Chains A and B, each alone.
With several copies, the nearest count.
Chain A
Amino acid sequence: MINFYNVTKLYPNGVKALNDVSLSICKGEFVFLVGPSGAGKSTLIKIIFREELPTRGQVLFGGKNVARLRPREVPYLRRKIGMVFQDFRLLSQKTVAENVAFAMEVISASGKDIKKRVPEVLEQVGLKDKLNVLPKELSGGEQQRVCIARALVNSPAVLIADEPTGNLDPDTAWGLMELLEEINKAGTTVIMSTHAREIVDVMKKRVVAISQGKISRDEECGVYCDEL
């Protein structure tokens, strides 16, 4: 479903964030992306999402070359992906419910569907009593969960979460992991970058470790591990 062939990403300021990365993720997989801070996890994710373009190499999403998409095809690529951004990216002028609803409006969902689906998904992340609150009135963890709800609301084919548990307490984080596993069982491909050693070790999923822009390890049923 997602294929990287010798992808290198050089940022304009000269930083080589990805160095000759080849990777293949199949439909329905659950992949943990681990690695030290600044290793290139977010960059890899941004390239799938076409937020950044690869400098060299090819990235295929569902068989299509992401870099070669015409501008008006890009929105349709993004609609197939539910994205939890590391820095949240909530619309500060809209309430929690509006933020989540907005992801549905963008793909022209019907008003009825929106009314039904939004409270549903916000309840799943434990925010059912914060519907009409602005993002700045939320705690860090709550904001992160709004972002997760927004990624889930359209039931995307692929869910990509960039450190979705960074601001969550262990209980809430485990609740989220159960939710992701459920979604994954229902057929959604899940890619999640994380630093939560405990979670990775317990979940026993595929682990792709990145270090200094290179894939240093790629194991089915792996652990977080740091040269253990």
Chain B
Amino acid sequence: MQSIARNSWISLASIGTVSVSLIIVGVFTLVFLNANQFTQGLESGLEIRAILKNEQSRTDLNRINYSIESISGVSFVEFISKNQALEEMKESLENRKEILEGLQSENPLPDAFKVKAETPEQIVPIAKEIEAIEGVEQVIYGQSFVEKLVAATRWIRYAGAGLLGILCLAAVFLISTTIKMSVFARRKEIEIMVLLGATKWFVRFPYLLEGMILGFLGSLLSGLVVGAGYLSLVNHLDQALPFVSLITDKLVVLKVLGGIVGVGLLIGAIGSTMSIRKFLKT
């Protein structure tokens, strides 16, 4: 603690580096989690529509429903009658409803089942299986769109995770460099300790403690900045863009912040231990 006070400039610089690096990591983690949630939201909206042959009996409908439900990977099945389908279409056309007015009396739309898959990757095989069921005329699932979306979200996730990994490495590098430099600036001190007969552990301990304290303070600072910033962002966005749903689960945010502090402590401890090592060789 004394040494932190006496080397105040270096200590402040180390704390600053730790917090700046971890702020970057923290912000990006939250961006990444939100992007992930967003793409999941998109994906879970994907659905398969099994259009049925005209005029089926109740038993047939039940049989088809059961067949679909028993396909592995199917998470949701719902029957949509031709009337429901018309309503839905009206809604989706919104301002061009007038087109459909002529259809009111004689509904050309077929009955159908709405099916959802557990994961977007399963949509294509499920669609194939449904097509084979008797009584199903056609399966619609926006083939090209699903494929694009699945590919795109997978890319976003991989690229995001990759970027996050690189950022974490960068943070570790920056922090450990700073700690190394701060140890380097005091290499004389370490040499003298060793010459006075200090055991390695005795020399290492204060630096370890210092590294941990610096790491802790720096990561705490960054945790506070990221946490406060994110919560205020969530509030603002709630008013400005009520339809965008950010992750507001306090637990997730807390986990991220906790992770940041933990990482800070760990890097501080490991960084200082590693940096002293080379000055400890006798």
| Closest chain B residue, CB of each to CB of A69 | B282
Interface size on A (CB < 8 Å)? 23
- A196-225 CB contact bits vs B (8 Å, 1 = yes)? 000000000000000000000000000000
Contact (Cβ within 8 A) A106 B197: yes
Minimum CB distance partner of A93 in chain B: B6
Say yes or no: A71 contacts B282, CB within 8 Å: yes
Q: Does A185 contact B (CB under 8 A)?
A: no
B195 with A89: CB separation less than 8 A: yes
User: B114 at interface (Cβ–Cβ under 8 A)?
Assistant: no
Contact status A72-B200, CB under 8 Å: yes
> In whole angstroms, what is the CA distance A49 to B192 when docked?
13
Chain B residues in 8 Å Cβ range of A89: 188, 191-192, 195
Q: Which of A50, A76, A90 contacts B282 (CB 8 A)?
A: A50
Q: How many positions in chain B have a CB within 8 Å of any CB in the partner chain?
A: 18
Q: Please indicate the chain B residues that have their CB under 8 angstroms from the CB of A106 in the complex.
A: 193, 196-198, 202
Given contacts A71-B282, A74-B282, A106-B202, contact A93 B197 (CB under 8 A): no
Interface residue? B62 (CB, 8 A): no
Q: Considering the chains assembled together, what is the distance between the CA atoms of A50 and B218 in angstroms?
A: 40
Query: Known contacts A50-B282, A72-B200, A74-B282: does B195 contact A91 (CB below 8 Å)?
Result: no
Closest to B201 in A: A72
Q: State the CA gap A103–B202 with chains docked (Å).
A: 12
**11 further contact pairs, Cβ within 8 A, besides A93-B189, A103-B197:** A71-B200, A75-B194, A75-B200, A78-B195, A85-B195, A90-B192, A91-B188, A92-B188, A93-B7, A93-B186, A103-B196
B143 adjacent to chain A (CB < 8 Å): no
Say yes or no: is B199 at the interface (Cβ < 8 Å to chain A).
yes
**Which A residues are within 8 Å of any B CB, using their own CB?**
49-51, 71-72, 74-79, 83, 85, 89-93, 102-103, 106-107, 150
Indicate whether B56 reaches chain A with its CB closer than 8 angstroms.
Answer: no
Q: How far is the CA of A103 from the CA of B194 in the complex (A)?
A: 10
Tell me whether B3 is interfacial, beta carbon within 8 Å: yes
Please list 10 pairs of residues, one from A and one from B, whose beta carbons are closer than 8 Å in the complex, sorted by A's number.
Answer: A50-B282, A72-B199, A75-B197, A76-B197, A77-B197, A79-B197, A93-B6, A103-B196, A106-B193, A150-B196
Q: Which residues of chain B from 195 to 215 have a CB within 8 Å of any chain A CB?
A: 195-200, 202
Give chain B's interface residues, CB within 8 Å of chain A.
Answer: 3, 6-7, 186, 188-189, 191-200, 202, 282
Q: A91 vs B189: C-alpha distance in the bound complex, in angstroms?
A: 6
When distances are taken between beta carbons in the complex, the residues of chain A under 8 Å from B193 are 102, 106
A75 near B198 with CB under 8 A, answer: yes
Check B196 against A102 for contact (C-beta < 8 Å): yes
Partner of B196, one of A76, A77, A78, A93: A78
- In the A-B complex, the 10 residue pairs with the closest CB atoms: A78-B197, A79-B197, A106-B198, A75-B197, A93-B6, A75-B199, A106-B196, A89-B192, A103-B196, A74-B282
A214 to B197, CA, bound (A): 29
SS of B interface (majority): helix
Chain B contacts for A71, CB-based, 8 A: 200, 282
Min Cβ gap A161→B in Å is 14
Q: How far is the CB of A52 from chain B (nearest CB, A)?
A: 11
Q: Which residue of B lies closest to A83 (CB)?
A: B195
Residues of B within 8 A of A150 (CB): 196
Q: Which residues of A contact B192 (CB under 8 A)?
A: 89-91
Residues of B within 8 A of A90 (CB): 192
Chain A nearest CB, measured from B188 CB (Å): 8
- Bound Cα distance from A79 to B194, whole angstroms: 10
Residues on the A chain within 8 Å of B198, using CB: 75, 106
In angstroms, Cα B192 to Cα A137, docked, is 18
Contact (Cβ within 8 A) A107 B189: no
A97 CB to closest chain B CB (Å) equals: 13
Alpha-carbon separation in the docked complex, A75 to B201 (Å): 11
Contacting pair A107 B197 (CB below 8 A):
yes
Give complex CA distance A79, B7 in Å. 28
**Measured between alpha carbons, how far is A90 from B282 in the docked complex, in Å?**
19
Closest-by-CB residue of A relative to B3 is: A93
Minimum distance in angstroms from B201 CB to a CB of chain A:
9
A107 and B192 alpha carbons, distance in the complex (Å)? 14
How many Å from the CB of A155 to the closest CB on chain B? 14
| Complex alpha-carbon distance, A92 and B188, angstroms | 9
- Tell me, in angstroms, the Cα distance from A150 to B3 when the chains sit together: 20
Q: Give the residues in chain B near A103, CB-CB below 8 Å.
A: 196-197
Complex Cα spacing A83 to B195, Å: 9
How distant is A33 from chain B, measured CB to nearest CB, in Å? 19
Contact yes or no, A51 B195, CB < 8 A: yes
Complex alpha-carbon distance, A77 and B198, angstroms: 11
Q: How far is the CA of A208 from the CA of B189 in the complex (A)?
A: 33
